[in-house]
């Protein structure tokens, strides 16, 4: 039933598919993030407790939730690469890592910039903040491991194992605000019950969360394409592309 997927493990097919998908992801990501950000910054109502400082939420929450989602994506790809030896999966994991690191940095930075006016401090060593910082280090570890081996098959294996072991950190981040007392507030978006947030704040937030997901998708495609070319430098179709570019 899923056999049609198999040819896409072939580097050339994967490259062509990514090329085709990229404009859609790019267009949708820009549309969503532009809508969500303008709505959130200018049109969403002011919070009765936090005033306008809460508007940081429209990047903080998308960045934070997508930093974890991207990690799960990366770890899944790494797992597929390790178990079934599908190289395209290894390249996907390598493509996601730097994006995840930047998104995690944004979650941490916007959190600090929101914490200062609301909590009176940029940073506290509590469970939520510390575990998110660990996530950043996990991403950096994966990037560093993948970069340290000349043999990229070996590099992907080493980085993949770290990525998979690091998955333990994801539930810790997610439930840290429930398991330990924290300055950080618990989540206000509920999937199974009604969210504890006014809808005119919730909609722009959800739009930006989708937008961040699409943006991570688009950037993953861009980096995945470059990774395919780098790992297949000896293939005739890549050499042709290189020569066509060199002629310019």
Partner 1 sequence: MQFDSFADFINMGGYAFYVWLAYGVSFASLATLIVLSMRQQGKVLTEIAKKIAREERLKESRSNKS
The least distance separating partner 1 from the CB of residue 230, rounded to whole angstroms, comes to: 5
Nearer to partner 1 by Cβ, of 82 and 209: the residue is: 209
Q: According to CB under 8 A, which one of 35, 76, 113, 188 is a site residue for partner 1? A: 113
**What is the per-residue binding string for partner 1 in 128-167, x denoting contact by CB under 8 A?**
----------------------------------------
* 20 near partner 1 (CB under 8 A): no
- Closest to 104 in 3D by CA, of 138, 64, 76, 77: 64
**What is the per-residue binding string for partner 1 in 192-221, x denoting contact by CB under 8 A?**
-----------------------x---x--
Could you tell me the CA-to-CA distances from 16 to 153, 220, 228 in Å, in that order? 23, 14, 11
Q: How many CB atoms lie within 10 A of CB 23?
A: 11
* 222 near partner 1 (CB under 8 A): yes
Q: Please give the residue ranges that form the binding site for partner 1 (CB under 8 A).
A: 41-46, 51-53, 55-56, 59-60, 63, 98-99, 102, 105-106, 109-110, 113-114, 116-117, 215, 219, 222-223, 225-226, 229-230, 233, 238-239, 241-243, 245-246
């Amino acid at each position: 039933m899923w056999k049609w997927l198999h040819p896409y493990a072939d580097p050339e097919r994967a490259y062509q598919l990514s090329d085709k998908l990229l404009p859609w992801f790019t267009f949708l990501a820009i549309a969503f993030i532009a809508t969500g950000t303008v709505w959130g910054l200018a049109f969403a109502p002011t919070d009765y407790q936090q005033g306008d400082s809460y508007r940081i939420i429209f990047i903080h929450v998308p960045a934070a939730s997508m930093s974890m989602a991207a990690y799960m994506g990366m770890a899944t790809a790494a797992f597929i690469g390790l178990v079934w030896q599908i190289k395209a999966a290894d390249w996907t994991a390598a493509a996601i890592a730097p994006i995840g690191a930047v998104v995690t940095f944004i979650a941490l930075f916007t959190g600090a910039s929101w914490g200062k006016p609301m909590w009176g401090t940029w940073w506290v060593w509590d469970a939520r903040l510390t575990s998110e910082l660990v996530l950043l280090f996990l991403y950096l570890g994966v990037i560093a491991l993948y970069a340290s081996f000349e043999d990229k098959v070996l590099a992907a294996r080493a980085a993949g194992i770290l990525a998979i072991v690091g998955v333990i950190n994801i539930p810790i981040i997610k439930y840290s605000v429930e398991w330990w007392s924290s300055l950080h507030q618990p989540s206000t978006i509920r999937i199974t019950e009604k969210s504890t947030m006014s809808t005119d704040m919730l909609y722009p937030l959800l739009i930006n969360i989708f937008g961040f997901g699409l943006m991570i998708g688009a950037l993953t495609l861009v980096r995945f394409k470059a990774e395919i070319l780098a790992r297949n430098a000896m293939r005739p179709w890549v050499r042709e592309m290189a020569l066509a570019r060199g002629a310019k």
